[in-house]
């Protein structure tokens, strides 16, 4: 254990003057976080632009427009003259939804006739569409009824009678397709863990190849990669906290659970780096293997298409990546708030990856050291 801690301390002391560390484990993750936040900031699920087509023009319809604009997820960006303009605006990607208030809206409410508004939702922005659909339906069942009860009271109807006479208001939801499909909601929280996986693998593989001429012991090998793994885990927790603070997704799990998940992920990445460095004799071959394993994560981790629709080879390939298991735990445990024990198969898969990669990597490094000693003895 003495050589392990000595190697870990030496590695930490080398960081301030190590350009590889500065670029791969500091500049790349932090700049990636800043750049993605700047590019995708308009994809936050709040104050999304919607349009309203008011065919009634009454005081009640104007009150409805004000209530739509007060929703946390929506802002009224345009008032349109016809539903056709609204549908065209959705297809052009200018707005995410269009609310059409029908003619005689206020009159039918006062006469206790059924009233039905139409809401066109952009069907290809799935998270955006679901949030707007939820808020508009809630507004229709709760907020609208309260507003129109006030209208009846102002018209002279007694308060109790107004509560009973409030007409039902339906909302006809219609999905529209936008050819400019948008995956920013998925990419923001998925890209950063994959970037951490890639940069940590590149750095750890390069560190291990630097040590190869010295024929290090396994304690020194692991001592050289564990400090970087700890830093990667801390960066993952930091990124999760900043994305949650920016409103990209909620964090429902305790802080210790988030830290444990990212620490296990970073250890699995370190074990994978030990495996690759032990398997490949040349640094160029090792870097090519890192690229070959990590780059398909964008397609195979379920970002660009659902995991249930993957072919068997894609599922197998994605199962080899620590980031795949991390993204599953991130969605179910960190964002949804499920108990970590409920997803023990995913947690077990991540632990299994760390053990298998670490065991095979240690075996390969031991065989190489033995082979080098035999060559020297000859």
328: which 2 tokens?
A: 């599953």
Q: What span, in angstroms and rounded, lies between the C-alpha atoms of 147 and 216? A: 75
**3-state SS track over 265-323:** HHHHHHHHHHHHHHHCCCHHHHHHHHHHHHCCHHHHCCCCCCHHHCCHHHHHHHHCCHH
pLDDT of residue 370: 82
Asked if 115 contacts 108 with a C-beta cutoff of 8 angstroms, the reply is: yes
**φ and ψ of 30, to 5 deg:** -70, -45
pLDDT, one tens digit per residue, over 184-239 is 555 666 778 888 899 999 999 999 998 888 888 888 999 999 999 999 999 999 88
pLDDT score at 373: 74
Q: Which residues of the chain have pLDDT under 70?
A: 1, 37-46, 110, 112, 123-130, 138-189, 247-248, 295-311, 314, 378
Q: What per-residue confidence (pLDDT) applies to 291?
A: 83
With b meaning 16 or more CB within 10 Å and e meaning fewer, what string describes 14-42?
A: eeeebeebeebbeebbeebbeebbeebee
Helix (H) or strand (E) holding 79: strand 74-80
Choosing among 1.10.10, 3.30.70, 3.40.50, 3.40.1710, the CATH entry for 44-176 is 3.40.1710
Q: How much is the pLDDT for 104? A: 85
Q: Domain locations in the chain?
A: 2-41+183-377, 44-176
**What's the pLDDT at 330?**
84
The radius of gyration computed from the CA coordinates of the chain, to the nearest angstrom, equals 28
The mean of the pLDDT values for the chain is 79
């Amino acid at each position: 254990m003495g050589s392990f801690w000595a190697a870990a301390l030496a590695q930490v002391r080398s960081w301030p003057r190590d350009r590889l560390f500065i670029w791969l484990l500091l500049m790349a993750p932090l700049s990636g976080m800043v750049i993605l936040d700047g590019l995708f900031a308009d994809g936050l699920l709040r104050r999304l632009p919607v349009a309203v087509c008011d065919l009634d023009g009454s005081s009640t319809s104007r009150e409805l427009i004000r209530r739509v604009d007060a929703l946390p997820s929506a802002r009224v960006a345009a008032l349109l003259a016809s539903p056709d303009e609204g549908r065209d605006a959705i297809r052009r990607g200018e707005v995410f939804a269009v609310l059409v208030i029908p003619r005689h809206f206020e009159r039918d409410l006062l006469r206790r006739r059924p009233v039905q508004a139409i809401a066109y939702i952009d069907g290809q922005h799935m998270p955006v569409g679901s949030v707007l659909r939820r808020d508009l339906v809630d507004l229709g069942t709760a907020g609208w009824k309260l507003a129109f009860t006030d209208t009846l009271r102002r018209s002279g109807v007694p308060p109790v009678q107004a509560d009973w006479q409030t007409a039902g208001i339906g909302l006809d939801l219609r999905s529209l397709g936008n050819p400019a499909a948008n995956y920013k909601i998925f990419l923001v929280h998925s890209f950063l863990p994959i970037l951490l996986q890639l940069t940590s693998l590149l750095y750890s593989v390069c560190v291990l190849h630097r040590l190869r001429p010295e024929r290090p012991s396994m304690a020194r090998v692991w001592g050289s990669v564990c400090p970087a793994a700890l830093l990667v885990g801390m960066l993952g927790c930091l990124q999760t906290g900043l994305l949650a603070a920016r409103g990209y997704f909620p964090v429902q799990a305790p802080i210790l659970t988030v830290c444990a998940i990212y620490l296990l992920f970073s250890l699995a990445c370190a074990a994978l780096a030990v495996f690759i460095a032990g398997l490949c004799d040349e640094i160029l071959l090792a870097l090519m293997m890192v690229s070959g394993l990590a780059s398909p994560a964008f397609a195979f981790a379920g970002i660009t298409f659902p995991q249930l629709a993957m072919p068997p080879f894609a599922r197998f390939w994605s199962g080899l990546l620590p980031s795949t298991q991390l993204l599953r735990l991130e969605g179910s445990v960190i964002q949804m708030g499920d108990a970590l024990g409920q997803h023990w198969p995913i947690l077990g898969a991540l632990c299994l990856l760390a053990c298998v990669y670490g065991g095979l990597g240690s075996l390969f490094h031991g065989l190489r050291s033995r082979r080098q000693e035999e060559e020297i003895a000859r």
